[in-house]
Structure 1
């Protein structure tokens, strides 16, 4: 983590910044690696309501060789939802459905997945819509073997986009990449450079307003609001900017048109909208400051009790790192079959129906908006009296 103080908003360029969060201890990368930090911090822009954290040091090297996200299995993915019949819907599946619903995927459409990682969503789209022409770009070459499963070599680009692609794309997709960059203005301008006039973007970015864990994922540098996204894309010359905060339960989806002949006016949010959004950001920061205190109080109130942590993502890691006696944790429980059988922080990850009998307490490391409903449906957790901690 860089120690340089942030003085300018990455989204709008304003210097009206307000510190809203600082916590000593461990921060977490999306790839689930704890990082020893002196502090984790965030500032709020009073001009556009954008929240940002210090970029990682040597960020290019990190994403080239240090990220390695979900490379253990070509099919590995996060669970997005569980249908009433028990069917799991994985994140790439949901993303592919959302693209198909919002974009006209006609034959011959040139579609680029920018910052694609494994390009799992692009692969699913290619299978469902074989008439499109897919392209993949990422800042690393570690995913090349996965791209080659469905893309010829001339439609793969590690490290740099070929000049022959510039101005030729009909649709540029980007899934959970914009939040990682230290230069979001340059990022969205680059997407426009790759589009033909009239081409469109479909960009998915996490929303900390729907999933508060985003604030403490340290390789997520940018924490956008609807207002800061509108400002960012308008300043980059996009028109017909549409921001959907509902289709993806924990993210914004931005759809916009690259039309150099019809540059929109810079949006001016109302004072009331700006104030309301900033108040929500401050409340999330206060919530994280309170969570650690409550974890410590629950642990102190259950001396010598063995426990499990439900969820092996950021929330679960935060709980484990906050506990004073991690030796009492018997297991992480996780419904994702790709995580079961591994270890995290030296603790085994088990399926939810394999709750150790000795576990008398359950720390629920899930999005607070969904946690109680999910836990109510896990019968194995309720086969005997247990104490539950919710974030």
Structure 2
């Protein structure tokens, strides 16, 4: 069967990458059956992972984000010793991009707990919030929302069509194989002239996105522009600097007269080379981890990072029992375990640990480790990916 691009519907090229083994790892660090296979679109610059059959069951029964409590969140970064969580940063960026006013109808599409919109409401209580997700599991959080809110699950409420001033989406479109239907839903919801504002991962700034099994779409600035223009959006802004490892996108729904730009051939060639470079990184990843593990000898090890990188490393180890713990600065992970090993704060790393495998985005890994004051002067050896 010929693979078709989710963005432009062109036939995709041969695989850039195919994972080893018969299991792949997801956003939520779950192992699911199937091989991760990644292709490049030479027409629009999109990178795409073949959708695994087991994803349907995964989304229905396992996928959830920060659902332990209202406060639980992912750690975005540590700035001058202060922990900044993702919803806080996303709300700050959103308010810098959109001028909110009383009465504005704002829909969070694929919202989960809608933590970002909730933070915006603390500053702009006069806007009218609406929530949509494909599952009912977040309804208890919506029932505790700080003000009156309307919500819909599984399919958007038809009464909302053509009424929204702003549609928001945070890290949802990378999961959606039928982008045409998703954009159709957004267009139906927006008023003409309304704003579609969304975040998706930037694989070129965080190579982990390339091998996340449930991320079927790996966007580029080129493929994002193509997708939006194809569906009647104009005034497209794609910001890849303001949020680490993400594209922050803002576009206005114009309708049929939006127009299309021809993708730049040289830019597409550069994107393909970058994608090939990332594929090569992952093709040698397992060998590098195993080589380092062999060099450690009998030394006790820990893994820094309880997210995707840390979990991915743990699946590759020949002797995982030698891992004493996982280390992470996210306070919401205290008391949780990976591979039956505790997740601890940096200051609580066991004294016997001599080697730390750093499971972080390689772009920021050394900087993050260098800022951990509790480890200054400790005799720890670090393995960077």
TM-score band w.r.t. shorter chain: over 0.9
Instruction: Give the aligned partner of residue 29 of structure 1.
Output: 26
Say if 2:2 and 2:12, in contact at 8 Å, map to a contact too.
Answer: no
Distance across 2 between alignment mates of 1:60 and 1:199: 32
1:194–1:58: structure 2 CA closer, same or farther, 3 Å change rule?
Answer: farther
Matched, 1:238 2:238: no
Asked if the contact 2:231–2:255 (Cα under 8 Å) also holds between the matched residues in 1, the reply is no
Match for residue 263 of structure 2 among 253, 269, 291: 269
Output the CA distance in 2 between the equivalents of 1:107 and 1:28: 43
1:75 to 1:352, Cα distance in 2 relative to 1, 3 A = same
Partner of 1:69: 65
Matched, 1:190 2:155: no
After superposition, the C-alpha distances for 1:310-342 in whole angstroms (9 at most, x for unaligned) are 001110011111110001000000000011221
Question: Are residue 335 (structure 1) and residue 332 (structure 2) matched?
Answer: no
Deviation at 1:53, TM superposition (A): 0.9
Equivalent positions of 1:312-323 (< 5 A) are 312-323=306-317
Aligned to 1:56: 52
TM-score, normalization by structure 1 = 0.94
Q: Distance in 2 between matches of 1:59 and 1:296?
A: 29
> Alignment partner of 2:347: what SS?
coil
Where does 1:214-225 land on structure 2 (aligned, <5 Å)? 214-225=209-220
* Secondary structure of residue in 2 paired with 1:97: helix
* Correspondences of 1:120-159 after superposition (within 5 Å): 120-150=115-145, 155-159=150-154
The answer (yes or no) to whether the contact 1:295–1:322 under 8 Å persists in 2 is: yes
Q: CA RMSD in A?
A: 1.6
Aligned: 1:355 with 2:349:
yes
Change (3 A) 1:59 1:157: farther
Equivalent position of 1:104 in the other structure: 99
**In the superposition, relative to structure 1, how do residues 58 and 314 fare at CA in structure 2: closer, same or farther (>3 Å)?**
closer
Unaligned runs of 5+ in 1: none
| TM-score where L is the length of structure 2 | 0.96
Matched, 1:179 2:174: yes
Please give the per-residue CA displacement for 1:216-251, whole angstroms capped at 9, x wherever unaligned. Answer: 111111101111111111111111111111111110
Tell me the distance in 1 between the aligned counterparts of 2:250 and 2:276: 27
CA distance in 2, matches of 1:297, 1:58: 32
Shifted more, 336-345 versus 163-172: the winner is: 336-345
1:7 aligned onto 2:8: no
Once the two structures are TM-superposed, the CA of residue 36 in structure 1 deviates from its matched residue by: 4.5
Q: Which residue of 2 aligns with 1:384?
A: 378
Asked whether the 8 Å contact 1:139–1:159 carries over to 2, the reply is: yes
Count of aligned pairs: 384
Q: CA deviation at 1:279?
A: 0.8
Contact 1:113 1:136 in 2 (8 A): yes
Shift of 1:153: 7.5
Shift of 1:73: 1.6
Correspondent of 1:283 among 277, 284, 307: 277
Aligned partners of 2:143, 2:336: CA distance in 1, in Å? 27
The whole-number CA distance in structure 1 between the counterparts of 2:107 and 2:2 is: 32
After superposing on structure 2, the runs of 4+ consecutive aligned residues of structure 1 that deviate more than 6 Å are 151-154
More displaced, 96-105 or 27-36? 27-36
Partner of 1:300: 294
Instruction: Note the C-alpha offset of 1:12.
Output: 0.7
Deviations 1:13-58 (A, max 9, x none): 1114231011213422112222344x22111111112111122326
Gaps of 5+ in 2: none
From 300, 305, 314, give the equivalent of 1:311: 305
